[in-house]
Amino acid sequence: MAGPVNGPDTAPPDGGETAPADDRDTTSAAGPPAPAGDDVVSAGGRAVRVAIVDDHPVVVEGIRSWLAAEPRLTVVATGDDPDVVLRAAPDADVVLLDLRLHGRMAVEKVTELSAAGRRVVVYSEHTDPETVLAVLDAGAVAFLAKHEGREHCVATVLAAASDRAYVPPTLAGAIVGDARPDRPALSDKEREALLLWFQSMSKASVARRMRISEHTVKQYVDRARIKYTRAGRPAATKSALLARAIEDGLIRPEEIGTYQSYAADDRPTP
């Protein structure tokens, strides 16, 4: 399957142990060299460039207005064909992709874009766990349910731009509901944090229930999510997520591939 017209041409970091995420080269053949994907969110960085792919103009406009209210984000291209949109905006940092385009599920497209290093955030009204998990396996950075609203959308796109996976409540629920025999092993605390986050949509409530800090809740949720980056086919985006997770101290390099044994350890990383 061919990648996008102007995908990154650097090999992804192997096994997530080397090459921090900011080694990504998003230079396009036609455009100017793009700044590294690192720290786009931090002060002084330029705004994150977002491409929106959806076959319903009204949805495109709705998302555009959500993102417009956030100065750190700018929409650079929209349309109903991912290839056309990415040709128009080869330097887009994040692709917001409606999973159902013209009546067909675009999971294959997610695989193709993720393999080429595109940071894909899938959003859809199809929230059955099988679909959500298939999208993660395909290499999407995050899954957003259409009903989850502006706040989660902005948070997801900002996190994706810096190769961090934000976990919206629906995604948390799908991970807790994962019944596949080969699913990644989660610790009890990680499961509980995910479940309560899905049920309440409030990390503060989860923190009170679990008698831990909000920061620790976020760590449990993010660690559970990172365990899912190794499922399915390898993709450049997954390597970038793992590299950033190591950088952030969410997991240790030696833990990659040894999740089974680690699942029993409930201590959040300091």
Partner 1 sequence: MTVDSSIAPPPGATVDPSTAPTAGAVAVAASSDRAARIAALVIAYGWHLLISLPAVLLNWSELRWPWVVGGGWLAVALAGGFAARRLLRGRALPAGPLVVGLLVVDAVVFPASGEEFLFHSANWGWGTVGWFAILFLWGRPLRELVATIAAGAVIALVAVLGQGADAADLSRYGMYVYGVAALPIALAVGAATLRTLAAERARAASASAAVTAQRLAAARAQRDRRDRLALVDATAGDVLADLAAGRADPADPAVQRRCALAAARLRRLIAESDDVPDPLLHELRASADLAERRGVAVDLVTLGTPPPVPVPVRRRLVDPLAAVLSTVDDRARLTVLASPDAVEISLVTPDRGTLEEVVPPPGDEPVEYEDVRDGEVRWTRTRWQAR
* Binders of partner 1 in range 103-132 (CB under 8 A): 127-129
Shortest CB 189 distance to partner 1, Å: 17
Nearer to partner 1, 140 or 246 (CB): 140
Q: Which two tokens stand for residue 5?
A: 């017209």
Shortest CB 174 distance to partner 1, Å: 6
Under 8 Å between Cβ of 81 and 4:
no
Shortest CB 173 distance to partner 1, Å: 4
Stretch that binds partner 1, among 35-43, 56-64, 160-168, 175-183 (CB under 8 A): 175-183
Helix axes 107-115, 236-247, angle to 10 degrees: 60
Under 8 Å between Cβ of 243 and 19:
yes
Instruction: Decide: is 198 part of the binding site for partner 1 (CB under 8 A).
Output: yes
Under 8 Å between Cβ of 243 and 196:
no
Instruction: Decide: is 150 part of the binding site for partner 1 (CB under 8 A).
Output: no
Distance (Å, rounded) from C-alpha 164 to C-alpha 207?
21
Report how far Cα 177 is from the mean position of its chain's Cα atoms. 19
One of 75, 97, 174, 221 touching partner 1 (CB under 8 A): 174
Stretch that binds partner 1, among 51-59, 150-158, 193-201, 234-242 (CB under 8 A): 193-201
Report how far Cα 65 is from the mean position of its chain's Cα atoms. 21
Distance (Å, rounded) from C-alpha 255 to C-alpha 257?
6
**Number of amino acids touching partner 1 (CB under 8 A):** 22
Residues that bind partner 1 (CB under 8 A): 127-129, 145, 147, 169-170, 173-174, 176-177, 179, 195, 198-202, 204-205, 208-209
